Amino acid sequence: MKKTILLFLLFCLPKLMAQQTVNASGGNATGAGGSSSYSIGQITYNEQTGSGGSINQGVQQSVEIFTLSGTAFENIKLEALVYPNPTISSVILKISNFNLDEVTYQWFDIQGKPIKSGKISNEETVFNMESYPSAIYILKINSNNKELKTFKIIKN
């Protein structure tokens, strides 16, 4: 009987702690813009890499898209979605509830040098970034020569 209990404790109890990690610190942070959880000092993880990007299992993923500036327009929803983030291949920009007649975009490198510009004609626009080197880029959205929003995009 003692052997059975010992085997049970030896093989079953470690599985109860399988969903935990050993971290130096961590917690939750909340503010006016939302909330975030964080962990510091996780010592192991599993990285999977493919042609479209990479994912680190067991590691909290950071999001590196920031709205740098914007003008308050009613009934406009500008949103930048990057898959994966930081991106390797493309950036998707979605614009809804806004007249796209005069909407344009401008890409800049982090030094402010213009890279590419054009007109946005669809609610969903895909920007191919495969030919650009790893860096931080600025995507500026304009309407009638007025700035709507500016986004910071990180390319790996």
pLDDT tens per residue, range 58-106 = 555 544 555 555 555 555 666 655 566 677 788 888 887 777 888 899 9
Residue 144 in this model has a pLDDT that exceeds 50: yes
Classify each residue of 63-80 as buried b or exposed e, where b means 16 or more C-beta atoms within 10 Å of its C-beta. Answer: eebeeeeeeeeeebebeb
Range of the domain at 90: 66-155
> For position 99, which CATH number holds?
2.60.40.3080
pLDDT value of position 43: 58
pLDDT tens per residue, range 43-52 = 556 667 776 6
Task: Evaluate whether residue 88 is within a structural domain.
Answer: yes
pTM for the model: 0.53
Task: Evaluate whether residue 150 is within a structural domain.
Answer: yes
Task: Evaluate whether residue 127 is within a structural domain.
Answer: yes
Reference 85, options 105, 109, 60; nearest CA is 60
Task: Evaluate whether residue 14 is within a structural domain.
Answer: no
pLDDT value of position 123: 85
Task: Evaluate whether residue 78 is within a structural domain.
Answer: yes
Count: domains in the chain:
1
Task: Evaluate whether residue 60 is within a structural domain.
Answer: no
